[in-house]
Amino acid sequence: MKKNKAIAIILAVVVLLAGLGFYGVNILNDTTSKGDKSIILGLDLSGGVSITYQIMTENPTQTDINDTIAKLEERAENYSTEYAVYQVGEDRITVEIPGVFDANAVLEELGSPGALYFITAKNADGKANYSYDSSSEEDVPYKLNFELEELIENGSVILTGNDVKSAEAGYQPDQYGGNQPVVSLVFTDDAAKIFGEATTEAAKNDDTIAIYYDDHFISVPTVEAAITNGQCIISGSNEFAEAEELATFIRIGAISLKLEELESNVVGAQLGSQALATSVQAAGIGMLLIMVFMIIMYRLPGVVSAIALAIYTFGTICFVQLFEITLTLPGIAGIILGIGMAVDANVVTFARIKEEIAAGTSVSMSIKNGYKKAMSAIVDGNATTFIAAVVLMILGSGTVKGFAYTLMLSIILSMFTALLVAKYLMQAFYAIGLKDKKFYGAAKEIKTIDFLKRRVLWFTISLAIIVAGVGGVAYHSATGGNAFNYGIEFAGGTSTTVDFGKTYTIDEIEKEIIPYVSKVTGDSAVQATTVDESTNIVLKTKTLSLEEREALNAMLVKEFGVDEDTITSQSISSTVSGEMRQNAIIAVIVACFFMLIYIRLRFKDLRFATSAILALLHDVLIVLTAYVLLRITVGNTLIACVLTVVGYSINNTIVVFDRIRENLLSVKKQTPESWYEVANHSLTQTLTRSMYTSLTTVVMVVLLYVLGVPAIKEFALPLLVGMLAGTYSSLLIATQLWYEMKIRFKAKTE
């Protein structure tokens, strides 16, 4: 690289860092002050809209209620991936959407029945089902001549939204030569046949078939010819956004229950302002410590790493705001994992550079070879995690989808900073004169450690921990409790609304009110939210018995002087629905399957892939054991914690396997002895990298635990256990499993 080009690259990186830093700091300031350019925060960090619906349908079945909740979840996802929809009592449903503070705007869309009906012009008696209404202010001024229920019963309603296979917004030419927004429908096979018969009959008499949606007509077209291909066009939308919104609701399907708004409130953050402040503080301190560590350990490459890491951090902040990703505790986990992978990519590369220098290669060639040799490990490690993120985004819902978004963004940015920014910056520094080996350091030769010698011991230790977890499950189940300490997100609970007569901040509630509530209810994971423009506070606890509710009411009256008549309590269902849990499990299984396939193709050996997945399963089981034995509350963050560990574990293992694959190429005779030697040598070569990467990532999590509020501590603790387990398995489990499979299941070519 020429000197002029090197200077230009350094200046470009400085400008990039300055620009991202300026905007990143402004975004953080805006976020803490809730400005227009702030990051959208979840209910746990910011608050949002809470809407409670009364179910007006008499004697609804639980299946109908569950179906309605599922459909409301799909609608809520149009606003944010971090919504919560749950049943309250026997006949109410509450929807909570973060980052939205205009309840009326949400109600207009979310609360609409969303039922789509296709109605014939006349009933069986020849009477008109609908007629023109000159007094109507609707865009399509028609009115029903009979009650909708009557039309459904007498067969005038031929199809509903449930008969629609797909609905997409688009354009079609209008009579003036322009384009008008429309919704294109495709019916199911059975519905297509019914629609074909109805339009054939209507075409004989130039009759209409009306399209009725959300208590009003949206189109009353005259049928000029039979439509037998199962497709239909809905026109009448003024704007494309309107057509797109209609298409979305039709895709979701009709809500079978009649809902009526009972109340809507703007609620405050569940974790308080300190949660976000301490998270940012922990991240800032952690980043500084990592940068200092990298500079001390790697000298000039460490400086390059610090600059790349700063660009990654501020870039992540900017893109989270730009793409309107809702940030919650699980989202923070995705970013932490991204930081670990960004550091890891640099550590892997710098270790290679130091090895090249120690082997007598020139600095220039060492830099080139270092990046070349590190490329496969970096790409494979990030690719497997990215595959998991894509699968989670497609198949997951709620918290899982939010985690996937931040993880995908983090991986892309970490790859960009490690493989482009850091690489060219390193070459630029060399080109301007920093060519002495002392600026880069040389790897010290480490005597090969026999990691495989005590592999039976490592397997036994892991098995003992997992068995302890199984024993904990059995013990808690046998003594009448739950295997896990389920929080209200998974088990449901009791919601108590109290008028305290004065306003409290969420931080004051955590210090002054929640300790009393926890003592009376025996629940250490009480959730509290404030209600905007009122003195009400909503306290969510585990399910309380009648005696516990009475004790809670008595305490509130005695300690806080509230009027007992203002206290209302009702049971609430889990906010993590069964479908959401099922989606999360399916997504993880499918992600593991695709990672297995990728590793098999890249490493051309199923034993690498199998041992990597088994090591990953080992780490997840260790995390679950921690939840069981330490009685950590199982809430939304469990899913994010497990997913983070999955990404972290697979990346750790891939780096070691990449070195084994490389070293195997230099072995002339493939024997169990040579495999044993290669495995130990590869683990020794990557030991420093494994320890450094784990240290830098663990620092972030430890700071979250030390500085965070109680809810963040409960999130950081199992995350810390998972990361330590990931390091342990990459060094002492995964390679040992590979070796056992290698000697027990030899391929014919070997």
Q: Output the domain CATH number for residue 146.
A: 3.30.1360.200
- Between 133 and 98, name the one with better pLDDT: 133
Residue 5 within any structural domain of the chain: no
Residue 613 within any structural domain of the chain: yes
- 398 pLDDT band (50/70/90 cuts)? low
Per-residue pLDDT, 591: 84
Evaluate if residue 322 carries a pLDDT over 60.
yes
- Between 625 and 76, name the one with better pLDDT: 625
- 677 pLDDT band (50/70/90 cuts)? very high
Give 15-29 pLDDT, tens digit per residue.
999 999 999 888 888
Co-location of 629 and 730 in the same domain? yes
Give 323-334 pLDDT, tens digit per residue.
877 777 667 766
- Between 462 and 538, name the one with better pLDDT: 462
Co-location of 342 and 390 in the same domain? yes
- 616 pLDDT band (50/70/90 cuts)? very high
Co-location of 100 and 123 in the same domain? no
Residue 739 within any structural domain of the chain: yes
**Average pLDDT over every residue of 391-412:** 79
Q: Which residues pair with 568 in a beta bridge?
A: 497
The domain of 178 spans 116-254
Return d(Cα 294, Cα 141) in angstroms, integer: 70
Give 581-609 pLDDT, tens digit per residue.
777 788 888 888 888 898 888 888 889 99
Q: Are strands 259-268 and 47-55 parallel, antiparallel or unpaired?
A: antiparallel
Residue pair 539/567 in contact by the 8 Å Cβ criterion: no
Return d(Cα 69, Cα 571) in angstroms, integer: 16
| C-alpha 133, offset from chain centre | 48
Return d(Cα 114, Cα 167) in angstroms, integer: 13
- 249 pLDDT band (50/70/90 cuts)? low
**Average pLDDT over every residue of 145-159:** 90
Evaluate if residue 704 carries a pLDDT over 90.
no
Residue 124 within any structural domain of the chain: yes
Closest to 159 in 3D by CA, of 56, 68, 255, 254? 254
Co-location of 322 and 408 in the same domain? yes
- Between 577 and 301, name the one with better pLDDT: 301
**Average pLDDT over every residue of 375-382:** 87
For residue 368, how many other CB atoms are within 10 A of its CB?
16
Co-location of 249 and 129 in the same domain? yes
Residue 440 within any structural domain of the chain: yes
Evaluate if residue 105 carries a pLDDT over 80.
no
Per-residue pLDDT, 222: 85
Q: Which of 270-274, 351-355, 427-431 has the lowest mean pLDDT?
A: 270-274
Q: Which residues pair with 536 in a beta bridge?
A: 499
Domains contained in the chain, number: 4
Q: Are strands 633-634 and 485-486 parallel, antiparallel or unpaired?
A: parallel
State which of 552, 572, 592 marks the end of a domain.
Answer: 572
- 254 pLDDT band (50/70/90 cuts)? low
- Between 109 and 501, name the one with better pLDDT: 501
Q: Which residues of 254-292 are buried (b: 16+ CB within 10 A; e: fewer)?
A: bbbbebeeeebbbbbbbbbbbbbebbbebbeebbeebbe
**Average pLDDT over every residue of 404-419:** 86
In degrees, rounded to 5, the angle at the alpha carbon of residue 668 between the alpha carbons of residues 662 and 674 is 75
- Between 112 and 223, name the one with better pLDDT: 223
Residue 37 within any structural domain of the chain: no
Q: Which residues pair with 86 in a beta bridge?
A: 94
Per-residue pLDDT, 401: 75
- 269 pLDDT band (50/70/90 cuts)? low
State which of 254, 282, 317 marks the end of a domain.
Answer: 254
Co-location of 120 and 93 in the same domain? no
State which of 254, 286, 315 marks the end of a domain.
Answer: 254
Co-location of 559 and 706 in the same domain? no
> Burial level of 158, CB count in 10 A (0-12/13-18/19+)?
middle
The letter for the amino acid at 307 is: I
Contacts of 22 (CB under 8 A, 6+ apart): none
Residue 223 within any structural domain of the chain: yes
The CB-based long-range contact list for 430-436 (8 Å cut-off, 24+ gap) reads 430/1, 430/6, 430/363, 430/364, 430/367, 431/1, 431/2, 431/3, 431/5, 431/6, 432/3, 432/6, 432/7, 432/10, 434/300, 435/363, 435/364, 436/363
SS3 at position 64: helix
Co-location of 435 and 301 in the same domain? yes
Co-location of 171 and 211 in the same domain? yes
Orientation of helix 329-358 relative to helix 636-664, angle to 10°: 20
Q: Which of 52-66, 105-119, 186-200, 716-730 has the lowest mean pLDDT?
A: 105-119
Q: Which of 137-141, 208-212, 300-304, 710-714 has the lowest mean pLDDT?
A: 710-714
**Average pLDDT over every residue of 497-516:** 87
Per-residue pLDDT, 748: 46
Co-location of 385 and 358 in the same domain? yes
Number of residues assigned to the chain: 750
Residue 283 within any structural domain of the chain: yes
Domain of 553: which CATH number?
A: 3.30.70.3400
Co-location of 583 and 567 in the same domain? no
- Rounded to the nearest integer, the mean pLDDT of the chain is 84
Q: Which of 76-80, 455-459, 688-692 has the lowest mean pLDDT?
A: 76-80
Share of the chain above pLDDT 90, in %: 29
Co-location of 439 and 334 in the same domain? yes
